Homo-oligomer: A and B are copies of this chain.
Amino acid sequence: MADHAADGPADDGGGAGDASRPVTIAYIAESAGVSVPTVSKVINGKSGVSADTRARVEELVNRYGYRKPGASHRNNVVELVFRELKDMWAVEIIRGVERVARRHRVGVMVSEFGLHDTPAPHWDDTVSRRPSCVLSVAQLSEAERAQLKAKGIPFVVFDPTTELPDDVPFVGATNWSGGRAATRHLTELGHRRIAMISGPEDVLCCAARLDGYRSAMQAAGLPADPDLVVHAPLTREDGCAAARSLLARPDRPTAIFAANDLQALGVYQAAREAGLRIPDDLSVVGFDDLPVVAWVDPPLTTVHQPLTEMAVAATELALTLGRGEEAPQVGLELATTLTVRSSTAPPPATDARGH
């Protein structure tokens, strides 16, 4: 027969023995085969313990997830993590999170990590604050997700930019439908040469918006001209550059659908430079509905992304998971809606078929 390999300290083969009553230093001491005072010394980083003993005790402290009695297991805090805090996005999200958190009497801790793939140095600070839950705007690496899982801290990904495993909770927007609605609005106005400035190909929401565009083009019986699709980073400058190249063509499009509002504002500038009037000579549609786009001239037709509502839903979900409850669903997409303003109109008469 095999020997009794799993005849460990107190728990059965399972692992971190979480369910039972709280771990005490007496329990750690027994497991480590040392006295209570020795464990106390290790925990408080006092001297007078051999490196050997210290290592063994530390290992058990980690394994059993020991916490001092006062240190409440959970801080009443949701950690709201951004990759970049600069977008106009951020306020809308923070507001939504704050509103829900306040109602639950939970604090909102905001932190910004870089765009770099390397784990940010203060990620450990975030984790060690033992928040009720983490709400991450954009990605969490696999390692980060694993770390949170190990510590029992639930998390929700806000508007994920890449494909995630099925069990990762997320809240997003209906990007495909939004792209489709934006494009259909243009086809219904009579446009036939509709260009799309899409975002980076590996960003999920951009891929969805682009596919929505393609779907609407096809539904309108319009050819899928690959020349009408260009990719550019989601900034105003890059949107402008992309629009310049589109508008310089002899068979220039009569409408441009940009992957986000910033790019759309870049299109405005390119149009001005080219002496084209919006919407008379060129229709423009954006995506996001940032507050500012209602104030530019002409006010931008765009796909409204319900950022605040998404933040509310994400926070509710995160807090539910933080309470250890089961959530009705772990992933959801909130509906986008087309907001028609003044940057879209039928195409100029020379190009129009319908009018």
Contacts and interface: CB of A to CB of B under 8 A. Distances in A.
A109 B111 contact: no
A80 to B, nearest CB: 8
A27 interface: no
Interface of A: 68-72, 77, 85-88, 90-91, 94-95, 98-99, 102, 105, 107-112, 122, 125, 129, 236, 265, 268-269, 272, 291-292, 295-297
Contacts of A98: 85, 110-112
Nearest to A82: B98
A interface SS class = mixed
Contacts of A292: 88, 292, 295
A88 B296 CA distance: 15
A88 B88 contact: yes
B85 A112 contact: no
Chain copies in the assembly?
2
Contact of A108 (B71, B110, B269, B297): B110
B111 A107 contact: yes
A112 B122 contact: no
Contact of A105 (B112, B122, B296): B122
A190 B99 CA distance: 49
A94 B110 contact: yes
A299 to B, nearest CB: 10
A96 to B, nearest CB: 10
B108 A107 contact: no
Contacts of A107: 109, 111, 125, 129
Contacts of A72: 70
Contacts of A129: 107
A109 B109 contact: yes
Given A85-B91, A85-B95, A90-B91, A236 B111 contact: no
A2 B94 CA distance: 58
A265 B291 CA distance: 13
B105 A108 contact: no
B122 A102 contact: yes
A65 to B, nearest CB: 16
A265 B109 CA distance: 33
Nearest to A84: B95
A236 B293 CA distance: 13
A85 B228 CA distance: 40
Contacts of A236: 295
Given A70-B72, A85-B95, A109-B110, 5 more contacts: A95-B112, A99-B112, A105-B125, A107-B125, A268-B297
A109 B265 CA distance: 33
A110 B69 CA distance: 28
B94 A90 contact: yes
A272 B342 CA distance: 14
A102 B111 contact: yes
Contacts of A95: 85-86, 112
Enumerate the 7 nearest inter-chain pairs by beta-carbon distance, A residue then B residue, closest first: A70-B70, A292-B292, A85-B95, A107-B109, A90-B91, A110-B110, A98-B112
A15 B336 CA distance: 59
A88 B91 contact: yes
A268 to B, nearest CB: 7
